[in-house]
Every structure is written in C-alpha cells, then in structure tokens.
C-alpha cells in the first residue's frame, strides 16, 4: 500500500469516516493479499493490537500493511507474510487495522474462523518457508557456479 494524495493523512480520514477501502500495492503480504487484485477494509485503531492482527502503520512517507507477531510495551514486532525481516514499529506509528479483504469479489472478515486458522498456521510455518526459500536460492547459486566451470 503506497501513500498517495488521496490518503496522505490516513489517521485523520479513519477518524472522520470510520473506515477506508483501498487496493493493495506490493507483495509483502502475499499470499493473503495479492498485488493490485485484492482490496482491504481498514478500521481505525481502537485499543491495542493483538498477535496476528494486520496493522496499518506509517513508515517514512508511506503506509505499510504487515502482520503483528508480538506485542511489547511500547512497540510491536511486525512482519509481512512474504518477508524475512521483522520490524520494530512504535505503537504511535500504527493508524489502523485490517478488518477484512475482498478476494474474487467475496469479502473475508478477519474474525472468520478459517481466516484465523490461516493466520496462525502461516505465522507458525513462515520460518520454515523462509528457510526453504533461502536454501533454494543458495542451491541455485551453487548450481550456477558448478555449471559455469
């Protein structure tokens, strides 16, 4: 999700209207959210986020949508579903939370039991998926070196 003039001040927009819908731009939350295909419903932040929530926060001049892995006293540990690196995000940077998304015209609420199971399984499997991906890339690089000789 990239910042544009239309939602430059997303926090204010959320306070005024109570929700915001936008199409996602980026692959960091794949496979949950598909680049320029899925739309998300954002609600204003009310209270503290919980583990597995999908936060909307401001980083530099853009808004980012990533999953909460851990809740700390003054910050969240956050990572995109398709990312290796974790981020420390101060709580004051979070402006909203994803309440649901549209896939093939069908709305998927994040309170849905199937979605909640998906989120837990994906977060649990993510380190293994990332390790497998890392190992594949190293194997490909080694193979290229071998075949060049």
Q: How confident is residue 1, by pLDDT bands cut at 50, 70 and 90?
A: very low
Q: Is the dihedral of CA 64, 82, 137, 133 positive or negative?
A: positive
Element (H, E) at 33: none
Domain that holds residue 94: 5-148
Query: Which has the minimum average pLDDT: 69-78, 122-131, 136-145?
Result: 122-131
Mean pLDDT of 63-79: 96
CATH number of residue 42's parent domain? 2.10.109.10
What is the structure's pLDDT at 108?
96
For the chain, strand residue ranges (E) read 20-23, 39-44, 54-59, 62-71, 75-79, 87-90, 94-103, 106-109
pLDDT surpasses 60 at 3: no
Residue in 48, 33, 54 with CA at minimum distance from that of residue 99: 54
Are residues 97 and 43 in contact, defined by beta-carbon separation less than 8 angstroms?
A: yes
pLDDT surpasses 90 at 148: no
CA distances from 80 to 2, 31, 56, 108, 142 (A): 15, 10, 11, 19, 28
Are residues 33 and 24 in contact, defined by beta-carbon separation less than 8 angstroms?
A: yes
pLDDT tens per residue across span 72-118: 999 999 999 988 889 999 999 999 999 999 999 999 999 999 999 99
Domain count, the chain: 1
| Angle (CA) 80 44 79, round 5° | 10
């Amino acid at each position: 999700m990239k910042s544009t003039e239309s939602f430059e001040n997303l926090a204010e927009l959320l306070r005024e209207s109570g929700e915001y819908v936008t199409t996602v731009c980026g692959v960091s939350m794949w496979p949950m959210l598909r680049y320029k295909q899925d739309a998300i419903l954002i609600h204003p932040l009310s209270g503290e986020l919980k583990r597995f929530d999908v936060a909307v926060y401001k980083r530099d001049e853009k808004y980012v949508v990533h999953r909460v892995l851990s809740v700390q006293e003054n910050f969240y540990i956050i990572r995109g579903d398709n990312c290796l690196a974790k981020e420390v995000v101060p709580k004051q940077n979070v402006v909203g939370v994803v309440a649901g998304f549209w896939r093939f015209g069908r709305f998927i609420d994040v309170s849905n039991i199937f979605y909640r199971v998906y989120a837990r399984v994906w977060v649990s499997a993510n380190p293994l998926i990332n390790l497998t991906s890392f190992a594949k890339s190293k194997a490909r690089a080694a193979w290229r070196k071998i075949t060049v000789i």
